[in-house]
Amino acid sequence: MWSLVSALSAGIAGEVIFEVAPGTYEEYVTLNAISGASASDRVIFRGTGADNQQVVLTSNAGYTQNSTLTLDGADYVTFENMTLSSTSEENAVVVTLRGGLSNDRFEKVRFEGCYSEASNTDNDKNLVYRVSGGWMDTDNAFVGCEFVNGFIGLYYQGTDMTQFNDGLLVQSCSFTNQCSKAIYTTFTDHVTLSGNAIDNNNDTHTDFNAIDMFRCRYGCLVENNVMTVNHPTKYATVMKLRPCTGTAAEPVIVRNNIVDFQGAASSWCYSFDNADSDYIYFVHNTGLCSGTGASGNLMVQKDWSNLYVYNNLFVNETDGYVFRFNNESEARYCDYNRVSFTGGYVGIFAGTDCATLSEWTSTSGFDAQTATCSPHFAGNGDYHLTSPEGLIVANPLEYAATDIDGEVRPNTPCAGADEYNEIYAVGEQETVGNLSVYPNPTQGVVTIGIDEDSAFEYQVLDIAGRTVIKGKCLSPVMTLDLSGVVKGVYFISVKCEAKCLTQKVIVQ
C-alpha cells in the first residue's frame, strides 16, 4: 500500500489525499521533496479508522534503517489519525526529520516506541528525531498527537548558533513514559508549546525534563501545559530553559503552566539555566513540589536580565527552596507571587539563605507584594482552585489576560495558572452528594447522576484544565456523549445548588 508513495516522485498538480484503510503495515517509508506541493496543494495521508490506532505503520528498525518513517526534504505533507511505531528495543527511531522541512503537519498521530528500561538509554530511541544538518526547518506542527515510550518523545534541533529553525507548534499533545525528555527543542525561533499534557513515572534516567528548551529565541510561547512528574530517586528538572532569549518586541512568554512534581533531592519544577538571557515573562504558573527529597520550585542561574517573575503560585512541601537565584543581576523583577512552604527556608539569594519571606525580600529586593498562602485544589489531578482566599494579586498583566481554561482574568486575578471559578467552590455542607459517572472507562456515552432531586450544571475539562463541554441538566440523571473528544483523561464537575463534586473519567 505504501508503495503508492512512489507515485509522488513525478510531482503533483493539486491536493493529493491518500485514505489509508485500517490495518498494520510493516514497512519503511521515505518521502523526499515533492514537486508542486504548496500551502494550497498538500499531500495528506489520512487514516480512515475510528481512532488513531486502527491504521498502524510499523517496523523493526536497525542502524541501517533506523526509522519507520523518514521525511527528507518533503514539504507540505500531513499525516492524520494513525499510529507510527517501532517494535525494536535497540536503535529505533520512529520518525526521522531531515533535509530541511517546511509546513509539515502531524495531527492525531500516535508515536509509539518499544519500551525497555534496560535499553532506552540513548538517542537511537527517540520517537521523533529532527536530525541536525546544514538546513533549516520552518513552521512544522504536531497537533493532538500522542507520544508513548521512547528516550525522548520529540527531539527537534536546529544546526547551531549560526542557523536556527523558525517556527514549531506542539499543541494539545500528550507525552507518556519517556526516559529522558518529553519535548527537547534546540536552536529554534518562534516555538509554541501549548496545551500539552506530560505524564511521567519513569524514574530510570537522571535529569528527566518534561520540557527542555536549549537556545531557543524570539517570540517563543510556552502556555497551558500540565506536567505531572513522579521522579522520587533521581535528579530531575521538570521544565528547563537554557537559555531562551527574547527581545522587547518579541519576548519569550511562559504562562499558565502547571507542574506537579514529586522529586528527589536538589530537583526543580522550573529552572532557568546555562547562559545569560533577556526578555522573559514567567507569569501565572503553578508549581507544586512534594516528595522525600529537598526539591525546589524556581531556580535562576547566571545573568538573566529583563526577567519578569509575576503572579505565580508555588507550593513546596519538601525541605527545599521555593526560590533560588544564584547571583545578583540588573533588570530582574520578581513580585506578586503567592507561596506556601514547609521547609526551613523560603529561598536562597546569591548564597544567602532566607528563612522567611521578609528575609527573602530584604536580601533579594524581590517580592515586596508577595504573600504566603494555603491554596486548595479540587484534587485527584484536578488543579482548579476551590477558593480564591489568599491568592488574589493586584497585578493584572495584559500578556496573561486569560487562564489555563481560557477564562478572562479580572483586574485582581488569582496567582497561578487557574483563575478561580465558583463551580469548584466547596463549602462545609458541600461534601454531601454523590456523583456517579458510568461506564468508566468509556468509549463514548456516559451516564451522569447525582443523589439530589434537582437540576445541575456540569463541565467536562481535559487534563490541562480546558473546558471542552459544558451545560445544564434539568433532572438528576443525564447521558452525555464524549465520543467527539480526543481519547484521554477528563474531569466531570457538577454544581448543584451549593454543592460541587468532580470525578475523573477515562475516554478510550
CA atoms within 13 A on the CB side of 400: 33
- DSSP state, 162? T
What tens digit of pLDDT does each residue of 74-130 get? 999 999 999 999 888 776 789 999 999 999 999 999 999 876 554 445 556 789 999
Question: Which fold would CATH assign to domain 1-205?
Answer: Pectate Lyase C-like (2.160.20)
Three cell numbers at 426? 466547596
Radius of gyration of the chain (CA): 23
Write down the pLDDT at residue 507: 84
- pLDDT digits 0-9 by tens, 186-204: 999 999 999 999 999 888 8
Best CA proximity match to 135, nearest among 95, 102, 108, 175: 102
Q: Write the pLDDT tens digit of every residue in 243-287.
A: 899 999 999 999 999 999 998 888 999 999 877 789 999 999 999
Closest CA to 211 of 282, 291, 156: 156
Prediction pTM value: 0.86
Residues of the chain with CATH 2.160.20.10: 1-205
pLDDT, position 485: 86
Confidence grade of residue 425 (pLDDT, cut at 50, 70, 90): low
Query: DSSP letters along 333-375, please?
Result: EEES-EEEE-SS-SEEETTEEE-SHHHHHHHHS--TT-EE---
Amino acid at site 259 = V
CATH 2.60.40.3080, the chain: domain bounds: 432-507
CATH number for region 432-507: 2.60.40.3080
Other residues' Cβ atoms within 10 Å of the Cβ of residue 187:
20
- Residue 436's nearest CA partner among 420, 456, 422 is 456
* Between 193 and 444, the higher pLDDT residue: 193
At 294-332, the pLDDT tens digits run 999 999 988 888 999 999 999 999 999 999 999 888 889
